[in-house]
Structure 1
Amino acid sequence: MGADHTRPAPSTPPGVRRILVATVVPLFVLTVIVALVLWPRDTPTKDTGGDVPRYHGTVTRVVTEPCPPTPEAPEGSPGTADGPCGTVTVKVEQGPDAGQQVQTPVPAGPGAPTVAVGDEVVLVELTDPADPTASSYNIAEHQRGEPLIWLVALFAAAIVAFGRLRGLAALAGLAASFAILLTFVVPGISGGGSPLLIAITGSALIMFVVLYLTHGITAQTSVAVLGTLGSLVLTGVLGSLATAAAHLTGFGSEEATTLSMYQRDVDLHGLLLAGIIIGSLGVLDDVTVTQAATVTELAHANPGLSRMQLYRAATRVGRAHIASTVNTIVLAYAGASLPLLLLLTADSRPVGQILTSEFLAQEIVRSAVATLGLIAAVPLTTGLAALVTTAGRAPEADPVRDPDPTPKPRPAVDRDAALEALSAGRPGTPSTPAPARWPDPGRSTDTAW
C-alpha cells in the first residue's frame, strides 16, 4: 500500500527525532495493548453438521437434450422447463467414489456454471432424506484454485521485479495486513466485539506495520503514520455522526441480512462503520505518504523555502492528488455496488425514494465520509511534515525570519570583463585575448552542427 518514494530523506535533527519517538512509540504501545485486550479468545465454533460434502472431479462427457414439457405450467408461460437439460459425466477425484464415473444433471438456473469436456469442477453429494443410503451428485461450480495461484504468482513477480527490495517489503506488508484482518479484526467482530473499536485498532496496527515495513523507520514515515492515524480517528467520528443522522441500521445489503441470521449478536451498524474505516485506510496510506514525501523533496530541492512556502507548495500537490483520488473512491464503491445502481432503472419508485433507501443511503454515506477523511489528511500531514522538515534550522537560514524576503538584485557586472573571463583558457593553456565586442552583434550565437 502507499506510494513509493525511494530518495533517502535528509537527516532530521536529533531533537525532532526525539519528539517523534516520544509521540509515535506511546501510540504504538497503546495500539498493541488495546489489540491484546480485544484479541478474540473464545471464537464461536462453526456448526459443520449441515455442510454438504464437496469433491473435485473432471468432466469427461456432456450430453444435452430438449427439456421435457412442464406438466403444470401457468397460463401464458412457456410449456417447457428452463434449459439446458441433459447429463454430465464426471470422473470423481476425491471421496468414497474416487476414480469412478458419475452422472449429474446439466447445471441450470440463474448463475449456473457452463461446463465442457475437460473442465475441473466441484461436486456436491446430496443425500435423499427418505433414504439416507441413496445419494446423488450435482455440479456446484468450477475449480478456481490453479488460475488463482498463477494470477497471484504473476502479481507477486511483477511487484518484486519492478520494486525489488521495496516491492518485496510491500508484499510482506500486504501479508501482514491480511494476517491482522483474518486473526484479529474478523474473529473479533464475529465474537461479538465492538466493530468500531476493533476496526480502528486493527487499522492502526496495520498502519504501523505496513508503513514502517514498506517505507523504513524514518521521520518522513513517522509523519505519515501520525497523519494517517489522525485521519482514521476523524473518519470514525464522522462515520458515527453520519450513520446516526441518516438512521442507518446496517441492514442495507443481502449479505448483512444473511449474516444476522447466522450470528444474531453481530452489531451490523458497527460493522458498517468498520467497513468505512478499513476501506479508507489504503487510500489514506497513499495520500499521507505522498504528502510527507512531497514536503521532503521540496525542502531538498530548495532549502531556502520557508515553512509556510513548503506547506503551500505541497498543499497544491495534495489538491491535485485529492481531485483524482476522490473520483477513485466513488468509482470503487460504485463498481462494488453496481447491481444496486441498476435498481435505479429497474425500480419503479421515484429516484428520490431509491436514493434515500437504506441500501443506497449507506453507499452515499460511505463515499462521503471516506472522502472527508481523505481531504482532512492532506492539511494535517502536510502541516506536520513542514514542521518536522524545517525544525532545527538556524534563524538566519530560515527566510521566514527575514524582514525583507524579496529577492535581492544581483550586482551589475561589466560586460567586457565578463566576456574576458568567459573566453579565458584553462590554467596551463595559452589564452587568447577576448574581443571587446562580438564580431557581428546581429549574428546568432548558437553553435552550428
Structure 2
Amino acid sequence: MNVLVWLTAILFILMIVIGGKKGVRSFLSLFLNFGVLFITIFLMTNPKNSPIILTLIACTVISWISLFYINEMSSKTVTAFISTMITIVILLLFIVFVTEKSMIRGFGEESTEEISIFSLYISVDFVQIGASVIIISTIGAILEVAISIATSMHEILHHNPFISRKKLFTSGLSIGKDILGTDTNTLFFAFFGGYLSLLIWFKDLSYSIGDIINSKVFATEMIMIFCAGIGIALIIPITSSVNAYYLIKKREKTENAL
C-alpha cells in the first residue's frame, strides 16, 4: 500500500511540475475515468443492460473527460470528439461482426480448471463483452491520435490561412501516417507485455505453433490487436476530413462576414 501511495504522489508531483493546471486536471481525470469504467463493469453484470450501449456511453463520457475536461472546450477538442465518436461507432459494429464470426467468445480450454468451481450460467452475452473489451482497450489510443491530428491541422491553418481544403486534408493524413506506426506498435507491445506469462505457459504446455495460433486465448488477443490497429487507422482519415471541413467552413464564414 505504501508503494502505491508513493508512486501516486510522485506521479502527481511530476504532473504538476510539468503540466501545471492541466497536469492537475490530467491527474484527476485518471480517477474519473477509472470511476466510469468501474460503474460500466458493474452495470454489465446485469443481464438486462446491453454491454454495447454501456460501452458507447462509457466511451462518450471518457472522451468528454479526456478532451473537454483536460484540454477545455475549443474547436480542436470539438472536432476531435466528433471524430472519435464516429470512429468508435464504426469500429464497434465491425468488432461485433468479427467477434461473432470468429467464435472467440467465452473461455478457452486453458481456463477450464480455474473456472470449473464456478457456475457458467451468468446470462451475459460474451460477444458483446468481447467487443466492449476491445473498444475500451483502444479508446485511449484513438483519443490521442484524434487530438494530435486536430491540433496539428489547426496550427497548419494558422500559419497558412489560404490553404485549400484538399491540401489541409492531405496534411492531416501525412501527420497521421507518422503517428500510425508508433501507436500500432505501442498497442502490440502493450498487449503482448500483459500476456507474456501466457506465452510462457504455452511453452510449458509444449504447445506447437499450430496449437498456439488455434488457441482461443491467443486468437482473442491477436484479434484485439488487429481491431485496435484498425481503429487507429480509421481515426486518421476521419479526423482529417472532419477538421478540413470544419476549418475551411469556418474560414469561409469569416470571409463572408467581412
TM-score, normalized by the shorter chain, greater than 0.5? yes
Please point out which of 185, 199, 211 is paired with 2:40. Answer: 185
Contact 2:80 2:147 in 1 (8 A): yes
Secondary structure in structure 2 of the residue aligned to 1:391:
helix
Note the 1:315-394 alignment, pairs <5 A: 315-394=173-252
Partner Cα separation in structure 2 for residue 208 and residue 258 of structure 1:
37
Question: How far is 1:346 from its partner?
Answer: 3.3
Partner Cα separation in structure 1 for residue 211 and residue 135 of structure 2:
27
CA spacing shift, 1:169–1:350, aligned 2, 3 Å: same
Secondary structure in structure 2 of the residue aligned to 1:298:
helix
Contact 2:95 2:131 in 1 (8 A): yes
Question: How far is 1:261 from its partner?
Answer: 2.3
Note the 1:387-426 alignment, pairs <5 A: 387-394=245-252
Contact 2:91 2:231 in 1 (8 A): yes
Partner Cα separation in structure 1 for residue 248 and residue 116 of structure 2:
51
CA spacing shift, 1:384–1:260, aligned 2, 3 Å: farther
Once the two structures are superposed, what CA deviation does each residue of 1:368-401 show, in whole Å capped at 9, x if it has no partner?
A: 1111011000000111111111114359x8xxxx
- Whichever residue aligns with residue 188 of structure 2, its letter is V
Q: Does 1:292 align with 2:147?
A: no
Q: Residue 29 of structure 2 corresponds to which residue in structure 1?
A: 173
CA spacing shift, 1:349–1:169, aligned 2, 3 Å: closer
Q: Residue 128 of structure 2 corresponds to which residue in structure 1?
A: 270
Partner Cα separation in structure 1 for residue 250 and residue 229 of structure 2:
34
TM-score (norm 2): 0.89
Contact 1:291 1:378 in 2 (8 A): yes
Q: Residue 212 of structure 1 corresponds to which residue in structure 2?
A: 68
Q: Which range moves more in the overlay, 290-299 or 385-394?
A: 385-394
More helix by share: 2
Once the two structures are superposed, what CA deviation does each residue of 1:178-224 show, in whole Å capped at 9, x if it has no partner?
A: 12122x20210122332222122111121123210111111111100
Partner Cα separation in structure 1 for residue 229 and residue 212 of structure 2:
22
Contact 1:330 1:367 in 2 (8 A): yes
Once the two structures are superposed, what CA deviation does each residue of 1:94-125 show, in whole Å capped at 9, x if it has no partner?
A: xxxxxxxxxxxxxxxxxxxxxxxxxxxxxxxx
Partner Cα separation in structure 2 for residue 260 and residue 233 of structure 1:
37
Partner Cα separation in structure 2 for residue 311 and residue 356 of structure 1:
41
Question: How far is 1:149 from its partner?
Answer: 0.5
More strand by share: 1
TM-score (norm 1): 0.53
Contact 2:169 2:241 in 1 (8 A): yes
Q: Residue 92 of structure 2 corresponds to which residue in structure 1?
A: 236
Secondary structure in structure 2 of the residue aligned to 1:265:
coil
Contact 2:149 2:236 in 1 (8 A): yes
Bigger radius of gyration among the two: 1
Q: Residue 305 of structure 1 corresponds to which residue in structure 2?
A: 163
Q: Residue 121 of structure 1 corresponds to which residue in structure 2?
A: none
CA RMSD of aligned residues (A): 2.2
Partner Cα separation in structure 1 for residue 117 and residue 70 of structure 2:
38
Question: How far is 1:269 from its partner?
Answer: 3.1
